[in-house]
């Protein structure tokens, strides 16, 4: 069997295990932790077969999906303990409000102890594929609406397909075109491992390197933006065509004009596909494992740090799946540094609040670039920090 087929088949086994655990096992079943080794084993077995996939976006998407399925399994099956009978989470360990007892009883009466096989498969697929839980009672925060003018607007299935199809086709065409761009001969020198750290060698960094780094950041995030639109859009169109709700597939990205701080970049603009998986594990570790106070400042930043740490570990493994040696990936450092940036932002906001009182919003937004009325200018604080911290 060709290597790509093997890699895809292994992912199918892994994702099928997730669906079976969600749809066919009880919340307290010992089968749930017993199946976890399969989830960990698949990325290891898949790695040599990924190397044979020459198309980089396909290798990255398949490797990323396989690794994230492990995170999603831990979050939905073991932490939240989603159950078909409850039609939702049964544990608050990950920060979600469990299904109420009266809802649980209603679910048991509606579905019975066994339930139809197709219904159970559908439930597992909806939770497993819809990582943002957009059409449930437990969506992630700040999901972008279908229309900024009417946040409650949900398009028809036909309208959804018509509006999304051109974006998906254009995104895939752009990705294929980028695959034919010849490599830059100077890239090995410009992006050598020794030049990845920048804050520790600021005195040796020249203007040319700064411009190169800023340009690389623009290129990196643009490619990631296009890739996510292509993959998410393809999945959304297929899901809706198979009969799933349009409401479960809102836009993957927020508005660029909303990302004028690091917190808002990650919280409102950038895709939220990883948020439930990463934050639920971090929530359980922070408030149940470490028993920190939920509304305390220490708990808040420890939770933020652990969320980015889980995301960083995921991206380290993703880099390895794409052929980057583990000692050359700076993903973990990059994501954990976002906590530092957010803490600095919060400190500045607090100082302005103390000094300016009710004028904090106007004053701060002017400093951040929004006051000029030019949305592009508002990107500069988060953009500069991402440029300096991105490996």
The highest-confidence range among 10-14, 147-151, 320-324, 330-334, by mean pLDDT, is 10-14
Mean pLDDT of the chain: 83
Q: What is the pLDDT of residues 126-143, one digit of tens each?
A: 999 888 999 889 999 899
pLDDT of residue 201: 59
How far apart, in whole angstroms, are the C-alpha atoms of residue 60 and residue 226?
Answer: 13
pLDDT score of 349 more than 80:
no
pLDDT score of 184 more than 80:
no
Q: Among 14-23, 165-174, 209-218, whose mean pLDDT is lowest?
A: 209-218
Task: Decide if 164 contacts 236 (C-beta within 8 A).
Answer: yes
Higher pLDDT, 261 or 229: 229
Reported as a pLDDT band with limits 50, 70 and 90, residue 57 is confident
pLDDT of residue 308: 96
How far apart, in whole angstroms, are the C-alpha atoms of residue 79 and residue 99?
Answer: 14
Task: Decide if 48 contacts 108 (C-beta within 8 A).
Answer: no
Q: Among 106-120, 248-262, 279-293, whose mean pLDDT is lowest?
A: 106-120
Hey, where are the domains in the chain?
Answer: 3-129, 145-252, 254-391
pLDDT of residue 371: 41
Task: Decide if 32 contacts 39 (C-beta within 8 A).
Answer: no
Reported as a pLDDT band with limits 50, 70 and 90, residue 41 is very high
- Of 298, 257, 302, the closest CA to residue 279 belongs to 302
pLDDT of residue 263: 87
Length of the chain: 391
Q: For residue 53, give both structure tokens.
A: 């996939």
pTM exceeding the 0.75 threshold for the entire prediction: yes
pLDDT of residue 115: 57
pLDDT score of 370 more than 60:
no
pLDDT of residue 389: 66
Higher pLDDT, 174 or 374: 174
pLDDT score of 164 more than 80:
yes
pLDDT of residue 264: 86
Q: For residue 30, give both structure tokens.
A: 């010992």
pLDDT of residue 146: 93
Distances (CA, A) of 378 to 145, 198, 354: 21, 24, 23
pLDDT score of 313 more than 80:
yes
How far apart, in whole angstroms, are the C-alpha atoms of residue 217 and residue 219?
Answer: 5
Q: Which residues 6+ apart lie within 8 Å of 198 measured at CB? A: 205, 213, 388
Task: Decide if 49 contacts 7 (C-beta within 8 A).
Answer: yes
């Amino acid at each position: 069997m060709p290597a790509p087929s093997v890699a895809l088949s292994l992912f199918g086994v892994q994702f099928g295990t997730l669906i079976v655990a969600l749809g066919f096992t009880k919340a307290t079943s010992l089968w749930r932790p017993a199946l976890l080794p399969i989830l960990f084993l698949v990325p290891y077995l898949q790695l040599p077969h990924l190397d044979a996939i020459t198309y980089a976006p396909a290798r990255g998407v398949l490797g990323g999906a396989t690794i994230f399925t492990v995170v999603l399994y831990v979050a939905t099956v073991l932490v939240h303990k989603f159950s078909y009978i409850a039609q939702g989470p049964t544990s608050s360990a990950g920060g979600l409000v469990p299904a109420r007892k009266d809802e649980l009883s209603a679910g048991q009466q509606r579905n019975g102890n066994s339930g139809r096989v197709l219904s159970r498969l559908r439930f597992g697929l909806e939770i497993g594929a819809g990582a943002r839980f957009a059409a449930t009672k437990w969506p992630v925060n700040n999901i972008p609406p279908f229309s900024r003018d009417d946040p409650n607007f949900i398009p028809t299935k036909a309208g959804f397909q018509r509006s999304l199809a051109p974006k998906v086709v254009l995104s895939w065409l752009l990705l294929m075109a980028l695959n034919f761009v010849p490599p830059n001969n100077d890239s090995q020198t410009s992006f050598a491992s020794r030049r990845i750290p920048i804050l520790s060698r600021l005195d040796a960094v020249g203007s040319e390197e700064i411009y190169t780094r800023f340009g690389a950041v623009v290129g990196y995030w643009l490619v990631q933006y296009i890739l996510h639109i292509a993959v998410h859009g393809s999945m959304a169109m297929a899901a809706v065509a198979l009969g799933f709700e349009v409401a479960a597939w809102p836009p993957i990205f927020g508005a660029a004009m909303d990302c004028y701080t690091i917190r808002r970049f990650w919280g409102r603009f950038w895709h939220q596909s990883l948020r439930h998986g990463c934050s639920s594990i971090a929530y359980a570790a922070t408030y149940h494992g470490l028993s920190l106070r939920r509304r305390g400042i220490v708990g808040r930043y420890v939770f933020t740090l652990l969320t980015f740490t889980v995301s960083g570990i995921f991206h380290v493994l993703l880099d390895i799946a794409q052929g980057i040696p583990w000692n050359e990936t700076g993903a973990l450092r990059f994501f954990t540094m976002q906590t530092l940036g957010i803490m600095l932002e919060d400190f500045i906001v607090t100082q302005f609040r103390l000094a300016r009182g009710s004028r904090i919003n106007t004053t701060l937004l002017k400093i951040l670039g929004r006051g000029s009325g030019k949305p592009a200018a508002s990107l500069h604080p988060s953009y500069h920090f991402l440029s300096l911290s991105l490996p």
